[in-house]
Amino acid sequence: MIRRILLLSFVLTILFTFIYSEECDSTNCNSKLNIQSKSKALQFSIEPDFQLGSFQGSTISIKKHLSEKRALRYGISLTGGNTISESNRKIITNDSLNLKNNSDNSSYSFTLMSQYLIYKSTRYSYLFYGLGPIFRYTNQIRESETKNNLTGDWESSDINDRNTKSYYYGLSFVFGVEVFVSKTISIHGEYCQELTYRNDYYEEVRPTQITENSTRGFSVDGGQVDFGCSFYW
């Protein structure tokens, strides 16, 4: 639902820009709220699942304008989390059998990207689009142990460790709009899409066996709208 609202807001912003904007060369505009050649910017973008407390789901980028209409952007995104849980189950028949399961789940990922952006100036904003290479690494680890208590002492009955690693190589595409709110600060919204080649490696370790598996193939990801702000100097 949140993704749909963000996407609708982004589409309405784009439509408003097309309907009410006029072509305007930024070098000839009287307004000082425009992109300057050779300027640089620090950008922060947030995704729909952004978590304020840990600042996860965000991308930090450095952008350098080669001119008023062209720029290079380099970004990095980091996410991660850990969950520890414990469950207990008691079965009563002729004897009482207590079962305990402890699990530790962790996951993290980081993304590196660079993009070549082209800007089109309008009366009140800038439209931009671009593409560039992207690399992403994700790792998911799950460790679980099951214990039973039949004789009064806890004894381990099963141990299961799972590890999944994924590597992505490909291209990222972006289309967005940027609006200046002051001489050095702007806000932007952008629609992102990725075409990547993906390698997945899976390993499961149990006391009596080890299972390994690998898959690979092309993947189309993204389709999300990110919002953020830029600080120019």
Q: Which of 86-95, 125-134, 172-181 has the lowest mean pLDDT?
A: 86-95
Length of the chain: 233
Bridging pattern class, strands 56-65 and 70-92: antiparallel
The domain segmentation of the chain, as residue ranges, is: 2-19+37-109+130-232
Bridging pattern class, strands 210-232 and 70-92: unpaired
Contact 19, 47 (CB under 8 A): no
Convert the pLDDT of each residue in 90-128 to its tens digit.
Answer: 665 555 557 777 888 899 999 999 999 999 988 778 999
- The tokens of 63 are what? 């952008």
**58 pLDDT more than 90:** no
The values of phi and psi at residue 56, to 5°, are: -85, 155
Bridging pattern class, strands 70-92 and 40-51: unpaired
**CA dist., res. 95 & res. 101, Å (int):** 20
CA neighbor of 162 nearest in space, from 106, 208, 101: 106
CA neighbor of 79 nearest in space, from 33, 24, 139: 139
Convert the pLDDT of each residue in 26-38 to its tens digit.
Answer: 444 445 568 888 9
Mean pLDDT of the chain: 81
Q: Is 18 helix (H, G, I), strand (E, B) or coil?
A: helix
Contact 39, 62 (CB under 8 A): no
Q: How many CB atoms lie within 10 A of CB 109?
A: 16
Amino acid at 63: K
